[in-house]
Amino acid sequence: MKDEPIIKLENVWKIYKFGKEELDVLKGINLEIFPADFVSIMGSSGSGKSTLLHIIGCLDTPSRGKVYLSGNDTSKMSEDQLAAIRGKKVGFIFQQFNLFSNLNGLENVALPMVFQRISEKKRVARAKELLFSVDLEDRIFHKPKELSGGEQQRIAISRALANNPEIIVADEPTGNLDSVNGKKIMEILIRLHEKENKTIIIVTHDSAIAKYSEKIINIKDGEIVG
């Protein structure tokens, strides 16, 4: 049963200051996401959807309000504490892939495990397992510039899964891909949700992508509107 939310936001505001001017990017957001939910956050450019995702994923902190992750109030945590939570509980997928150009596929996927002090033997085995699972067994020693956009994003997904997080957050994960590769990426995310019970939260402006999810949250001008 989904009794307790894995993520809970209470009256969350994000305010940026520019001299004497203030910009309210998020305005009193209240939100609950439960274990194994598959959620899309939709909104136009500038609506606040990426800021909301960053706060959900502990990449950013609110100006006001509380953010709970598995019942723990993250809004009062230090950067070191937030980094530790991100490393273990949250996997990130970005539109720009964010792969290290000087590392091959295997090394990119293994990198998050270095920070968790996992042995090299286990890192290599886990990275290979993940890359094989997304049909990249013949590309693991290629560097990003030698790969297509779809292949790079599949490496990025494998990297996000390296430490077996409960939560996957994805910011426009198909934004730089054609429709064929975009569909492949969404099929991988669906498989993770259905087979491994991952909690998946996607930011997208594309209604066709949002339809893959179970719940759609619409955000406009920093507020949830439906």
Q: What is the pLDDT at residue 3?
A: 73
Sign of CA dihedral 200, 205, 211, 217: positive
- Strand 64-69 and strand 7-18: pairing? antiparallel
Q: How does DSSP classify residue 95?
A: T
**What does residue 47 show for φ and ψ, rounded to 5 degrees?**
-75, -20
pLDDT digits (tens, 9 = 90+) for 156-182: 999 999 999 999 999 999 988 898 999
Q: Is the pLDDT of residue 217 over 90?
A: yes
Give residue 198's domain range.
36-61+76-224
pTM of the entire predicted model: 0.89
The answer to whether position 14 is within a domain reads no
**Which single residue is written with the structure tokens 């990017």?**
25
* Residues in Cβ contact with 54 at an 8 Å cutoff, skipping those fewer than 6 apart: 60
Length of the chain as a residue count? 226
The answer to whether position 71 is within a domain reads no
Contact 149, 177 (CB under 8 A): yes
Average pLDDT over all residues of the chain: 92
- Strand 64-69 and strand 215-220: pairing? unpaired
The tally of domains found in the chain comes to 1
CA dist., res. 44 & res. 178, Å (int): 20
Beta-carbon-side half-sphere exposure of residue 33 (alpha carbons within 13 Å): 32
Q: Is the pLDDT of residue 2 over 60?
A: no
Task: Find the mean pLDDT for residues 189-208.
Answer: 93
Q: What is the pLDDT at residue 14?
A: 96
The answer to whether position 182 is within a domain reads yes
Share of the chain above pLDDT 70, in %: 99
The answer to whether position 170 is within a domain reads yes
The answer to whether position 55 is within a domain reads yes
Q: Which of 208, 212, 165, 172 is nearest to 189 (CA)?
A: 212
The answer to whether position 69 is within a domain reads no
Q: What is the CATH number of the domain that holds 148?
A: 3.40.50.300
pLDDT digits (tens, 9 = 90+) for 64-121: 999 999 999 998 888 888 888 888 899 999 888 899 999 999 999 999 999 888 999 9
Task: Find the mean pLDDT for residues 122-130.
Answer: 95
- What's the angle, vertex CA 188, arms to CA 185 and CA 190, rounded to 5? 110
* Residues in Cβ contact with 205 at an 8 Å cutoff, skipping those fewer than 6 apart: 42, 43, 44, 45, 172
Give the CA distances from residue 138 to residues 32, 70, 98, 103, 106, in Å, rounded to whole numbers and listed in that order. 41, 38, 21, 16, 11
Q: How confident is the model at residue 52 (pLDDT cuts 50, 70, 90)?
A: very high
Q: How confident is the model at residue 1 (pLDDT cuts 50, 70, 90)?
A: very low
**What does residue 61 show for φ and ψ, rounded to 5 degrees?**
-120, 150
Q: How does DSSP classify residue 43?
A: -
